[in-house]
Chains A and B, each alone.
Chain A
Amino acid sequence: MYNSIVLVKQVPDTANISGKVMKEDGTVNRAMLPAIFNHEDKVALELALRVKDEFGGTVTAITMGPPRATEVLRECLYMGADRVYLITDRKFAGADTLATSYVLSEVIKKIGNFDLVFAGRQAIDGDTAQVGPQTAEKLGIPQITYAEQIIKIEKNEIVVKRKIDGGSEIVKAKMPILITVIKGAAEVRPPKAKRIMAYKSAKSLLELETIVQGNSLLYIDKLVEEYKDRNLYIETLTTDDLPVDLDRCGIKGSPTKVHKVESVVLAGGNHIRIEPTKEGISKLIDILIEDKIF
């Protein structure tokens, strides 16, 4: 039996940015972008579920983000996660990777009793690949980054094939360990219809609060109890629930700051137009010969 914790993130779909998404000041209008489940995190979840399928144990998914990030947690439930946690608080907003890893490490310590922590190698909105290793350091556990295959798990040891520059290597490690995975590591399973039916109405505290605001006959504590009884409550953690030093959270706890953002400006077209004819190409080749390129 092995217990896994999976770090997941909801990200703006940066692959599909159009003109409308860029604001005039060159910043990105996140609201215009569809929010998606960061793919490599889904692969991480898949690996955790495979460990559970083979050896038993539990899979717990956690995400830090705005209330809307509950969406990816429901997806985790659909795929097979046993428990999910939403970590959300205005005081967490604006966190860089250092502040994020601090809060995540505190959450992981609170959940406790884990053998494996899985995460995607990186999230497509920042592409930093930093949160995994930074979290491992704060937990005081080893890490394997760029994992592409779990080869073997036996007792408290795991053997993993990972990508390195210009090749690959096989490493043997003692658990507990944090592993970040690359997209080729596994084909992600589709959500199960039965689980979608079971969990589509699972709700986080913030979503239940919204329901209460719209209905004076409901009380939040009672509603939470009711959802807990029906196994539909998504655990929601804020700064009140965690032993965190607020100076190390959110923008306050982030040493890196964005000083300037520019949308990409092109140099402007000063190129020489060559006709797509034999004569045109002949002239171009002459120029290149002249320049000693050919």
Chain B
Amino acid sequence: MQNKQVWVFVEQRNGKPADVSFELLSKGRKLADTLRGELKAVVIGHNVKDIAIETFKYGADQCFLIDHPDLHYYRTIPYSRVLISLINEHQPRIVLFGATVIGRDLAPRVASNTKSGLTADCTDLQISDVEYLKKTYKELLLQIRPAFGGNIIATIITPDTHIQMATVREGVMQMRECSKPKEINVIEIPFIPHEVDSLVEVIEQTQEESKVNLKAAPIIVSGGYGLGSKENFQLVFELAHTIGAEVAGSRAAVDAGFITPDRQVGQTGVTVRPKLYIAIGISGAIQHRAGMQEANKIIAINTDPDAPIFDISHYGIVGDALEVIPKFIEVYKSKLR
């Protein structure tokens, strides 16, 4: 019988696990249940046993731990060597990575070596039987992703290879701790250094600790190109300041220099799911919607009544932001201060 293991590469930076890895474990748990298979985590690094233990809170049945001083920094070659040999040995059915810089550096390397199918930047994963070219395939992984600049949604399958790999965007899967954590089952795998590992050495790392944490913000006020100028965009900051929200922007607003790239919401920016998202002067291209449509409540303010953003909004105000925002601030202050 074919094995039905679902694997998640658990990414860490300086000993801190990436959120996306726990999001993937939560999703991986569901996929493994559907397949009636096992969920396994792979943790690579130095002094990262705590992370291995944490994976069981998110549903891992087993965790491979490869812990060695040479693995302190992520480097393509030693990390891919470890993963390739594990995958060759165990032949998992599914291997998932975060679509981060590390995941997008590592996954293709591993897929190329193991000749596996790999789909980048998925926003949804499902298990389903598939009819493809008049053949029926049981329980394939549907790898769903925006394509062609976000204008279409493509479902990719890997029908004829055993190992199905995907990278998944950060923030699109929900992180959920299991009601009852799994029993701790860590398998430590020895790491044998090889001379090829030192072909690339990390000399220095700079973490620009971003003060912006859009993902954690309960309320986000987001501005688009429709605001017209950087000066007008200040109104977005003013409104956010008044109501205690974080400020974000669409890609067009970032490209126009209205706001810094670390505040970009959308397919190439951050994915958020706040309690309230106020979209101002944002038309609502699919690329932007991909990053915010999961918000609990969405308010759209736009001069164009046909702007697609209204289709996913709960409340819509057709009007000029330059007039609507000051009114909003004034009324808010009168009620809540």
Residues of A within 8 A of B (CB): 12, 14-15, 17, 21-22, 26-28, 96-98, 101, 124-138, 142-146, 159, 163-174, 177, 254-264, 266-269, 271-278, 280-282, 284-289, 291, 293-294
CB within 8 Å for A281 and B328 given contacts A22-B151, A165-B102: yes
Residues of the B chain whose Cβ atoms lie less than 8 Å from the Cβ of A128: 108, 120-121
> Considering residues B104, B310, B311, B318, which has the most beta carbons from chain A within 10 angstroms of its beta carbon?
B104
Residues of A within 8 Å of B13, CB to CB, are 164-166
Give per-residue flags for B321-337: 1 if the beta carbon is below 8 A from chain A beta carbons, else 0.
00110011011100110
B116 at the interface (CB under 8 A from A): yes
Top 4 nearest A-B pairs (CB, nearest first) are A276-B319, A14-B149, A255-B117, A134-B112
Q: Given A136-B109, A256-B157, verify A293-B120 contact (CB < 8 Å).
A: no
Contact B155 A133 (CB under 8 A): no
Q: Is the CB of A173 within 8 A of B324?
A: no
Q: List 14 A-B contacts (CB under 8 A).
A: A14-B149, A98-B111, A126-B120, A128-B120, A143-B109, A159-B203, A255-B160, A256-B143, A257-B157, A261-B155, A262-B154, A277-B327, A285-B332, A289-B336
- Are the CB atoms of B120 and A130 closer together than 8 Å? yes
Say yes or no: is B139 at the interface (Cβ < 8 Å to chain A).
no
- Inside 8 A of B183's CB, which chain A residues have their CB? none
Q: Mark B201-223, 1 if CB is under 8 A from A, else 0.
A: 11111111110000000110000
Q: Is A28 touching B203 in the complex (CB atoms < 8 A)? A: no
Complex: how many Å from CA A171 to CA B335?
Answer: 55
**Distance, CA A271 to CA B196, complexed state (A):** 58
Q: Are A124 and B149 in contact (CB under 8 A)?
A: yes
Is B310 in contact with A257, judged by CB distance below 8 angstroms? no
Chain A residues, Cβ within 8 Å of B55: none
A274 x B104 contact (CB < 8 A) = no
Set A17, A132, A136, A258: member contacting B149, Cβ < 8 A: A17
Number of B interface residues, CB 8 Å?
88
Q: Which of B119, B153, B317, B318 contacts A261 (CB 8 A)?
A: B153
A266 touches B206 (CB 8 A): no
Q: Decide yes or no whether B308 CB sits under 8 A from chain A.
A: yes
Q: With A98-B115, A146-B101 given, is the CB distance from A278 to B327 under 8 Å? A: yes
A167 to B74, CA, bound (A): 14
B118, A130: Cβ atoms under 8 Å?
A: yes
Check if A273 sits within 8 Å of B316, measured CB to CB.
Answer: yes
Contact partners of A126 in chain B: CB under 8 A: 120, 147
User: Chain A residues with Cβ under 8 A from B299's Cβ?
Assistant: 274, 284
A126-B120, A127-B120, A127-B121 known; A142+B200 contact, CB < 8 A: yes
Which chain B residue has the least Cβ–Cβ distance from A135? B112
Per the 8 Å Cβ criterion, residues 53-99 of B in contact with A are 73, 76-77, 80
Whether A14 and B327, one on each chain, are in contact in the complex, defined by CB atoms closer than 8 angstroms, is no
Complex Cα distance, B116 from A132, in Å, reads: 16
User: Which one of A136, A258, A274 has the greatest number of beta carbons of chain B within 10 Å?
Assistant: A274
Interfacial chain B residues near A170, Cβ < 8 Å: 202-205
CB contacts (< 8 Å) of B117 on chain A: these are 96, 98, 254-256
B313: Cβ under 8 A from any A Cβ: yes
